[in-house]
Amino acid sequence: MILVTGATGFLGRHVVHALRDQEHTVRCLVRSEKRARMLAASGCAIEIGDMADPASLRRACDGIGAIIHLAAIIRGRPRDFREVMIDGTRALIEAAATAHVSRFVLVSALGLNERSRELTPYYEAKWEQERMLKGSGLSHVIVRPSFVFDGSGGVLPTFIRLVRFLPVVPVLGPGVQRIQPISATDVAAHLVKATDLDDARDRTFDLAGREQPTWDELYLLIARLLGKRRLLVHVPFALARLQAALFERLPGFPFTRDQLKMLAAGDNTGDIESTLEAFGLPLRPLEEQIRQALA
Global model pTM greater than 0.75: yes
Mean pLDDT value of segment 151-155: 86
Domain region containing 172: 156-176+212-264
295 domain residue, yes or no: no
291 domain residue, yes or no: no
Number of domains in the chain: 2
206 domain residue, yes or no: yes
Residue 207: which of 269, 122, 139, 287 has the closest Cα? 269
40 and 163: one domain? Answer: no
pLDDT recorded at residue 254: 85
Q: Contact at 8 Å (CB) between 281 and 190?
A: yes
d(CA 289, CA 183) in angstroms, rounded, equals 6
- Which residues, 6 or more positions from 135, have their beta carbon under 8 angstroms from its beta carbon? none
CATH code of the domain containing 225: 3.90.25
11 and 90: one domain? Answer: yes
293 domain residue, yes or no: no
49 domain residue, yes or no: yes
224 domain residue, yes or no: yes
Q: What is the mean pLDDT of the chain?
A: 95
Q: pLDDT per residue over 60-84, tens digit each?
A: 999 999 999 999 999 899 999 999 9
CATH code of the domain containing 141: 3.40.50.720
pLDDT recorded at residue 153: 85
Q: pLDDT per residue over 9-25, tens digit each?
A: 999 999 999 999 999 99
197 domain residue, yes or no: yes
Length of the chain equals 295
